[in-house]
Amino acid sequence: MPLPLIPIAIIGVSAIFGAKKAYDTYSDSEESKRVNKLAQDIYNDSLELLDTKRKKTNKHITNFGSYKMAIFKNQINDFLDNFKKIKNFDFNEELFNDKELHIDNHEFEEFKNDVLNMTTVLGSVAGATAGAVAGFGAYGSVGLLATASTGTAISTLSGVAATNATLAWLGGGSLASGGLGMAGGMYVLGGLVAGPALAVATLVMASSVEKAKNEAYNNLNKAKVLKESNNTIILSLKKISKLIDSIRDTIKNTVDVFNMFNPSFIRLVNRNIDYATYDNSEKELVHKMLLLAQTIKNIIVIPLLDEEGEIDKKCIVVNFKTKKILSKIQDIEAE
């Protein structure tokens, strides 16, 4: 007896529908895997790029700290030792008819105290720890006096702990893209906080495939947002490096002029310590050396960044003023 045609048709349609459902499930599952892998790759590549820039910036800041320390220990300290030998120095004497090229007694006392404080702090840093050097690079003397989140003075820490504690400051506020504060800073430059994970668990049940597909695209969107956030941080780090290069050039140019005058200054002090007996050119030499030493000290100790990790505007002002003073001194020499 022949089978009814309608049930056969139903069986055929059901088989086709079942096969289609199985294919769709397989296809959605593969798409989920592909999208999740894409999200993970975008995220991992972004983190790798950020970490590379973070390490490069850390090294840049630490090298800058070492550079500034060397200048302070040599040019600034040596100058003050020689200058203090001079008797009867007249701070009220204005030789250049320019207020910007004059230092009064009050300013000199501040200069002397700053140098003394810096000498004391640097002397207390055993072996100039990585954290202390990095702190000096980013924050001048302030970085050496700062404390880590544990309450321990950064200058007393050593190795990775000191570096991380100091550089954690650099991630606050908008530098960490959205005000991530200390935790964000430690993630950005200290490497202490793990980034959010985007790994997706394997889903077996077919009923979860559609949900997994939606979550995969959510992960892709998250990865793209995190990449943009990391790009903003990388841009901020580039600005810090660019600022360091600019200030380092200014310091070098000023120190070069200081070193040009220094041999004559030392010979003068070794020959005669009585300022009252100096001729006009000798007096000008002493005043220029004092002005250059103070100018170098000012730009060395000024913080590059504020407590929120932003570039400190005062640093930019001091950099401009240093260039201006140096230009005026060079103009005097050219006359």
DSSP-derived secondary structure for 241-306: HHHHHHHHHHHHHHHHHHHHHHHHHHHHHHH--BGGG--HHHHHHHHHHHHHHHHHHHHHHS-SB-
Please choose, from the candidates 103, 89, 84, 80, the residue with its C-alpha nearest in 3D space to the C-alpha of residue 276: 89
**Residues 187/193, Cβ–Cβ less than 8 Å:** yes
- Please give the average per-residue pLDDT across 71-89, as a whole number: 92
Q: What is the pLDDT of residue 220?
A: 85
Q: What is the pLDDT of residue 224?
A: 86
Q: What is the pLDDT of residue 159?
A: 46
Convert the pLDDT of each residue in 219-275 to its tens digit: 888 888 888 877 877 887 888 889 999 999 999 999 999 999 999 999 999 999 999
- Please give the average per-residue pLDDT across 67-81, as a whole number: 90
